[in-house]
Amino acid sequence: MRGALEALGAERIQHGVRAVEDPALVAELAARGIPLAVCPTSNLRLGVVASLDEHPLRQLWDAGVLVSVNTDDPGFFGCDLLGEYAIAGRLLGLDRAGYARLARNGVESSFAPEAVKAELRAAIAQWV
């Protein structure tokens, strides 16, 4: 991840949950607002984590890293976005405002045009 940040100027990182192994990197991700697109089910199925209860999503969230929840390969891993949000909700103990924050993180970390982001922000605000 450091190489992607330093050499390539990465603006976001796909997956990246092993950043928790380097507290300085986690602090840098949080300070720079570099988002991580996290896919809990694929992390489990690929052996990145031994169980969902051991997933580092909570550590990253608590450290202030901009995390969003995503699917990796839904057909292959047998998951969907709603299920990934449910996993995140359980791991993070989310209420409606927490789910909204997680959804906004996804909007803000996307490369969507600003007009699309504005529409999505409004829809999330209305949902809350």
Q: What is the pLDDT along the chain (128 residues), one digit of tens a residue?
A: 887 888 888 888 888 899 999 999 999 999 999 999 999 999 998 999 999 999 999 999 999 999 999 887 766 666 788 999 999 999 999 999 999 999 999 999 999 999 999 999 999 999 99
What is the per-residue burial (b if ≥16 Cβ within 10 Å, else e) of 103-127? bbbbbbbeeeeeeeeeebeeebeee
Residue 12's pLDDT is 85
- What does the pLDDT read at residue 75? 66
pLDDT at 77: 63
Amino acid letter, residue 39: C
Reported pTM? 0.88
DSSP string, the chain: -HHHHHTT--S-EES-GGGGG-HHHHHHHHHHT--EEE-HHHHHHTTSSSSGGG-THHHHHHTT--EEE--S-HHHHT--HHHHHHHHHHHHT--HHHHHHHHHHHHHTS---HHHHHHHHHHHHHH-
Q: What six digits make up the tokens of 120?
A: 């999505």
Contact in structure between 49 and 43 (CB atoms under 8 Å)? yes
- pLDDT at position 3 is 79
